[in-house]
Amino acid sequence: MTDHSIIFFDIDGTLYNHDKKVPKSTKDAVFSLKERGHDVAIATGRAPFMFKDLREELEIDTFVSYNGQYVVLRGEVIYTNPLNKAALQSLTDLALLHEHAVVYMDHEDMKASAPNNEMITTSMGTLKLKHLPSHDPVYYKGREIYQALLFCQEDEEHYYESVCKAFDLIRWHPNSVDVVPHGGSKAKGIAKITEKLRVPPERQYAFGDGLNDVVMLRTIVNSVSMGNGVPEAKAAAKYITKPVDEDGIFHGLKMVGLL
């Protein structure tokens, strides 16, 4: 069993500020953790190809992506949990019927069911990615899809929730929800890593701010919500630190005694 701790960080609103940059205090804090012998990992709803630059910047090779559905430990894939193919076909059929777009995501790429969709451009544009998904309405066929994005308004998602029981829908933007396997979460992905490394619960830490962090913050013993976190994240966490743009990571790590 390890004598060191492992710390999982969400990306958007946690490692990244609202300009999708890592504050200097955050970067310094991450490297200070490593110098002290701790393991540093990422836990995000993003696809692996969406944060390759961040992993290189922070020299991190352990991560939970797709909200727990694609897990990598020290550069090696140790767990995958793709979407049920039949259920994804049903979701696709419903989305087509209601003229809602879907983006399908595997470990290498993402494709959209509709071309030039304004809701895709508006919501995914906030992530400041190098490329938005191109059009391929059958990308989900014949491959493992680990997460989908459904583009609909908040008052429209309840219909999908009532019909698509195989999936959980987690809103990340007014125009979009993450579609993940029912019961899938960052917490379950984290468990795959901590079990392999034999890290006891008291040495596990997690930082987050969004709705997709709630289960993680509720599950991990030493959980920290960012000051800019949604109310649900703050309620789930053991600690609340300052906002990301106010050296929130640094202050949170000081608060829990890691720095």
Report the Cα 206 to chain-centroid distance in Å.
Answer: 12
The secondary structure of residue 225, as a DSSP letter, is E
Contacts of 125 (CB under 8 A, 6+ apart): 132
Angle at 47 between CA 4 and CA 165, to 5 degrees: 100
User: What count of Cα atoms within 13 Å lies in the side-chain half-sphere of residue 153?
Assistant: 4
* Residues 46, 49: Cα–Cα separation, whole Å: 8
The catalytic residue among 3, 10, 19, 61 is 10
* Residues 27, 57: Cα–Cα separation, whole Å: 9
| Amino acid identity, position 148 | A
* β-sheet bridge partners, residue 79: 71
For residues 196, 202, 207, 208, the Cα torsion angle rounded to the nearest 10 degrees is: 80
What DSSP element (H or E) covers 112? Answer: strand 110-112
* Residues 4, 204: Cα–Cα separation, whole Å: 9
Measured between alpha carbons, how far is residue 62 from residues 8, 18, 40, 57 in Å? 9, 24, 7, 13
Is 10 a known active-site residue? yes
* Residues 180, 256: Cα–Cα separation, whole Å: 31
Q: Please identify every residue annotated as catalytic.
A: 10
